[in-house]
Amino acid sequence: MSVDLADRYGTRPGRRPLVIGISIVIAAIAIVWVSWATWLQATPGVSSAINTWEVVDDHTVTVVAKVRLDDDVDTPVCRVQALADDHTTVGELQFTPVDGINEQTISTERGASSVNWIGCWSKDQPGAK
C-alpha cells in the first residue's frame, strides 16, 4: 500500500523562486552601492600630499604641500599641525588652498620636531584626503 503524501496533506506552491528573486535583487543593490562608494572615494574633489617641511626656528615651521582641486570644489580647506618631541601639538594652521603647490608658515608656541599633515577637504567632501 502506497500513500501519496500530497494526496494526504495537500501541496502548497513553493517559495524557492521568490527567495531566489529577492536574493538577486538584494545582491544587485549591494553591488551598485559598493561600486558607487568605491568610485566616490577614489575620485575626491580635493586631494593633497605634503611635499616637504622644515623647522625654521623655535616658533616657525614651513610646510610645502601639493593640492589638487576639481573645478567645481566649494570651499576647500587644509589643516596641518606642528608637533613637539613629546607629540603634543605646538602649532596648527588651517588654510584655504590653491590648486598646485601651497607653501604655508605655521607659528608654534615652542620648538617643533615634526609635522602632521591632516589633509584637505571641502564642503561636499567631509573626509580629509
| pLDDT tens, residue by residue, 18-41 | 889 999 999 999 999 999 988 877
The pLDDT of residue 1: 62
User: Is the pTM value of this prediction over 0.75?
Assistant: no
Dump the DSSP string for 47-76: EEEEEEEEEEETTEEEEEEEEEE-TT--S-
Can you read off the three cell numbers belonging to residue 41? Answer: 572615494
pLDDT digits (tens, 9 = 90+) for 115-127: 999 999 988 777 7
Phi/psi of residue 64, nearest 5 degrees: -120, 125
pLDDT band at 16 (very low <50, low <70, confident <90, very high): confident
Backbone angles phi, psi at 107, to 5 degrees: -85, 135
Measure the CA–CA gap between 46 and 127, rounded to whole angstroms.
10
